[in-house]
Amino acid sequence: MFNSNGDHADPTSQFFRHRRDVQGIRAIAVLLVLAYHAKVPGFSGGYIGVDVFFVVSGFLITSLLVREFDTTGKISLTNFYARRVRRLLPASVVVVIGTLIISKIWLEPLRLDDLTQDARAAALFATNIVFAVRESDYLQSALPPSPLQHYWSLGVEEQFYIFFPVFVMVLLKLGKASKSLFTAGLAIVTAISLAVCVAITPSMPSIAFYLLPFRAWELGAGALLAIVGGKINRIKSVNRELFGWVGLVIIMVTGFIFDSKTLFPGYAAVLPVIATLLLVTSGDNSKIGPSRLLGLRVFQWFGSRSYSLYLWHWPILIVARSANKADLTAFQVALCLLATLFLAELSFKFVEQPIHNVPTFLNNANRSLALGAVFISVGLGASFITAPATADSLNTPINTTESSVIAATTTIFQYSDDQLKALIAKAPGLTELPADLDPPLAVLDSDEPEIYKLGCHDHDLDIPPVCQFGDLDSKTSIALIGDSHAAQWFEPLRRIAEQSKWRLQTFTRSGCTMLGITNGVLENCRVWLKNVVAEVQKNNFSLVVISAFTNREDLVDESPDGFINNITELHSALTVNSQKVIYLADSPGPLLHVPICLSANVQTIQNCNIERDDAINEQTAEILKGVWSSESSRFIDLTDWFCTQQVCPVVIGNMVVYRDVSHISSAYALALTNVLLNQLDVSLSG
């Protein structure tokens, strides 16, 4: 994808040597990616650099394959795969090993198990699949990024390299002298991939972003350019050169104006793809075209080392942030980028170049493939650097020299108000993790309310499942509705229902925040939400309990009035039958992944606490309070049961308050049972 060294005795080497403009395009692409990941101001869309690489790769690989077929009448798959092995695997495996070593030293302990899986996926060209699955999961998507997450793009390309040459060979042979069949087949596949990518990006952005079928159109666009390039060359060179400048400008502008809110890839990715096609079309050695700029020595240097630069920059930045236990300063980022340049130069000179200059491998494709098998084995073996020593290691202390935190049997206590207030007051002074931590860090990420396991919450059903608890014949009935921040209250509500002989019915779904009915809610939640409201109106519950994820900064930024209108509409729909409603304010947000932070601060857990003012979105809370404080509804704010006046501790007593970046643990939710019961009693008796 990024490596462009010429292979001595490689029949493709002349092609690479003559495309200095392509080398410069690689430089632009990798610099965009580096600037984006380093959070350089103005490069919020620098991630489009990867799309530039995809187009260039499709163009070059297709040009090589077609040239080989035109010259020899066939395509040697063995030679093709041998070249890919030499170009990609050595540097890739070296960086994986280096990443595992520095991660073992500086990465938070709880992140190492996932990193081990990522390293194995990288060795098997499947990293993109791992991250597609992981980020599609509502909870796992909140995890800090993996030091090997950037290997997803290598996974896409390596999978493309497995299938594409076979596709080319078959269609060229069937088409014989004409390339019409290949061109038509390639155009159809590219169009289908683009159409599906655009269709699923809004609803499944992670799948569209990471997986080859939805990225193949970008590689296919470059491949089509390679096929029709001869016809494009008939255009006057001055026009093509002007087109090239237009393409370069579009690439830079999209790198500046795109950001995390851009729906990507989808339609948005079409811009950088077309821009790259224009830039490649402008050609090399032009008089007024961008190749004069791209041919400068600085761009040639970055382009030739783009592969190693890409491989090294991400793990250095991620592990440095972890070791720093805070965002990096501008000076620290600069040091990381200097380290990236240094290691990239070492990789280029001592890994990439030497492997191309060993005649034994260059002249024998089978030996190159055998070398590839060795590198894959080494990559798989290296994963044990960060792997747990035994299958039971997660049930032992994270660091026995620092803490005696063990996976003891969980015991949930139902605290009185006075007991809990005393624990909250003492919590900011805690420095070490309690020995009887509840739940233990190693299992905290699986501390989901049982509503998940029962199939009552994490589903994609438009018709909510019937999930009832407590005394099903009781005249007192409670409905719990909302997203996962409502579901986190399931355990204490179920306990209350069982103890008080009430009926509890749940209507919760991940990501479906109760912020309106027709507006203010995700499109794929609207039908579900309307059905929930209809069920609540029909059943006429004694009390409806609502909660939602609202502690995020951008919730009302765009339209505060629209937000109020949406909430008011929901309020009217739920109270139309004079049903009583409690709106539970969102729990304070820790703004970090609590278990991971604690694993790196076993003796300094106060480093994971958060200032109260930073943990709450006051603007949103005031709006919600204004709407839900009425004759038929109450707004309940339990922030004082999470925080002191200054700080929101993440460990209270022996309980970890949060199981991830925002959800409270079942242990702490249950500790609030009496607090919640008092609020329910007030509403039911009022």
DSSP category for residue 349: I
* Residue 683: closest CA among 636, 647, 651: 636
| pLDDT score at 175 | 83
Residues 144-187: tens digit of each pLDDT: 899 999 999 999 999 999 999 999 999 998 887 678 899 999 99
User: Higher confidence at residue 167 or residue 435?
Assistant: 167
- Residue tagged 């203010």 (tokens): 520
Quick one: CA torsion of 533, 538, 540, 543, rounded to 10 degrees? Answer: -30
Q: What percent of the chain shows pLDDT beyond 70?
A: 90
Cα(553)–Cα(385) distance, rounded to whole angstroms? Answer: 39
Residues 59-68: tens digit of each pLDDT: 999 999 999 9
- Write the secondary structure of 29-53 as one string of H (helix), E (strand) and C (coil): HHHHHHHHHCCCCCCCCHHHHHHHH
Residues 6+ apart with CB under 8 A from 354: none
- Residue tagged 């060209």 (tokens): 125
The answer, yes or no, to whether the previous bond of 590 is cis (omega within 30 of 0) is no
User: Higher confidence at residue 106 or residue 459?
Assistant: 106
| 593 close to 325: Cβ distance less than 8 angstroms | no
| 545 close to 584: Cβ distance less than 8 angstroms | yes
Residues 410-426: tens digit of each pLDDT: 334 568 899 999 999 99
In DSSP terms, 438 is beta-bridged to 655
CA distances from 501 to 467, 497, 685 (A): 16, 6, 16
* Residue 291: closest CA among 241, 234, 236, 228: 241
Q: Is the pLDDT of residue 577 over 60?
A: yes
The mean-pLDDT minimum among 9-13, 586-590, 670-674 falls in 9-13
Q: Is the pLDDT of residue 506 over 80?
A: yes
Average pLDDT (425-454) is 88
User: Higher confidence at residue 407 or residue 330?
Assistant: 330
* Residue 194: closest CA among 169, 165, 224, 174: 224
- Residue tagged 């809610």 (tokens): 521
Confidence of residue 445 (pLDDT cuts 50, 70, 90): confident
Both tokens assigned to 117: 């899986």
One-letter amino acid for residue 81 of the chain:
Y
- How does 666-685 read in b/e, with b if 16+ C-beta sit within 10 Å? bbbbbbbbbbbbebbeebee
Compute the C-alpha angle 214/215/217, nearest 5°.
95
- How does 155-175 read in b/e, with b if 16+ C-beta sit within 10 Å? bbbbbbbeebbebbbebbeee
| pLDDT score at 89 | 94
* Residue 581: closest CA among 497, 686, 653: 686
| pLDDT score at 137 | 57
Beta-carbon neighbour count of residue 349 at 10 Å? 12
| pLDDT score at 100 | 97
Average pLDDT of the chain, as a whole number: 87
| pLDDT score at 179 | 86
> Which three-class secondary structure state does DSSP give residue 545?
strand
| pLDDT score at 141 | 57
| pLDDT score at 218 | 98
| 656 close to 437: Cβ distance less than 8 angstroms | yes
| pLDDT score at 473 | 93
Confidence of residue 671 (pLDDT cuts 50, 70, 90): very high
| 438 close to 411: Cβ distance less than 8 angstroms | yes
DSSP string, 113-129: HHHHHHHHHHHTT-HHH
Cα(182)–Cα(19) distance, rounded to whole angstroms? Answer: 24
Confidence of residue 669 (pLDDT cuts 50, 70, 90): very high
Instruction: Looking at mean pLDDT, say which of 432-436, 558-562, 634-638 comes out highest.
Output: 634-638
Q: Is the pLDDT of residue 510 over 60?
A: yes
Q: Is the pLDDT of residue 15 over 80?
A: no
Residue 217 has, within 13 A of its CA and on its CB side, a CA count of: 22
In DSSP terms, 504 is beta-bridged to 469, 478
How many helices (H) and strands (E) would you count in the chain?
31, 10
Confidence of residue 405 (pLDDT cuts 50, 70, 90): very low
CA distances from 441 to 76, 99, 594, 648, 657 (A): 53, 24, 9, 19, 11
| pLDDT score at 390 | 42
| pLDDT score at 540 | 85
| 413 close to 131: Cβ distance less than 8 angstroms | no
The answer, yes or no, to whether the previous bond of 265 is cis (omega within 30 of 0) is yes
Residues 272-316: tens digit of each pLDDT: 999 999 999 988 877 788 999 999 999 999 999 999 999 999 999
The answer, yes or no, to whether the previous bond of 492 is cis (omega within 30 of 0) is no
Which is it for strands 610-611 and 647-648: parallel, antiparallel or unpaired?
antiparallel
Q: Where are the alpha helices (DSSP H) in 201-347?
A: 205-210, 212-232, 237-257, 270-281, 291-294, 297-304, 306-324, 330-347
What are the backbone dihedrals phi and psi of residue 592, each rounded to the nearest 5 degrees, phi first?
-150, 165
Residues 205-220: tens digit of each pLDDT: 999 999 999 999 999 9
Average pLDDT (338-357) is 92
> Rg (Cα) of the chain, in Å, rounded?
29
* Residue 47: closest CA among 57, 36, 58, 38: 36
| pLDDT score at 14 | 37
| pLDDT score at 404 | 34
Q: Is the pLDDT of residue 130 over 50?
A: yes
Residues 6+ apart with CB under 8 A from 384: 116
Instruction: Looking at mean pLDDT, say which of 282-286, 503-507, 554-558 comes out highest.
Output: 503-507
H/E run at residue 61: helix 49-72
Residues 360-404: tens digit of each pLDDT: 766 788 888 998 999 999 999 999 998 865 433 333 333 333 333
DSSP category for residue 639: G
Residues 66-93: tens digit of each pLDDT: 999 988 889 999 999 999 999 999 999 9
Q: Which domains does the chain show, CATH number per domain?
A: 13-385 (no CATH), 417-685 (3.40.50.1110)
Confidence of residue 7 (pLDDT cuts 50, 70, 90): very low
| pLDDT score at 6 | 38
What are the backbone dihedrals phi and psi of residue 387, each rounded to the nearest 5 degrees, phi first?
-75, 150
Residues 218-233: tens digit of each pLDDT: 999 999 999 987 777 7
* Residue 128: closest CA among 65, 198, 54: 54
Could you tell me how many residues make up the chain?
686
> Which three-class secondary structure state does DSSP give residue 108?
coil
User: Higher confidence at residue 3 or residue 681?
Assistant: 681
Q: Can you say whether the dihedral through the CA atoms of 68, 72, 74, 79 is positive or negative?
A: negative
The predicted model scores a pTM of 0.84
| pLDDT score at 403 | 33
Cα(500)–Cα(470) distance, rounded to whole angstroms? Answer: 8
Q: Is the pLDDT of residue 408 over 80?
A: no
Residues 6+ apart with CB under 8 A from 180: none
The mean-pLDDT minimum among 212-216, 557-561, 591-595 falls in 557-561
Cα(449)–Cα(453) distance, rounded to whole angstroms? Answer: 8
| pLDDT score at 263 | 92
The mean-pLDDT minimum among 92-101, 269-278, 531-540 falls in 531-540
CA distances from 456 to 219, 460, 462 (A): 42, 10, 12
| 37 close to 145: Cβ distance less than 8 angstroms | no
In DSSP terms, 582 is beta-bridged to 545, 634
- Residue tagged 């491998």 (tokens): 361
Q: Is the pLDDT of residue 359 over 90?
A: no
DSSP string, 485-541: HHHTTHHHHHHHHHHHT-EEEEEE-TT---S-SSSSS-GGGHHHHHHHHHHHHHHT-
Confidence of residue 238 (pLDDT cuts 50, 70, 90): confident
Q: Would you call 67 exposed, middle or buried from its count of C-beta atoms within 10 A (0-12, 13-18, 19+)?
A: middle
- How does 591-604 read in b/e, with b if 16+ C-beta sit within 10 Å? ebbbbbbbbbbbee
User: Higher confidence at residue 494 or residue 523?
Assistant: 494
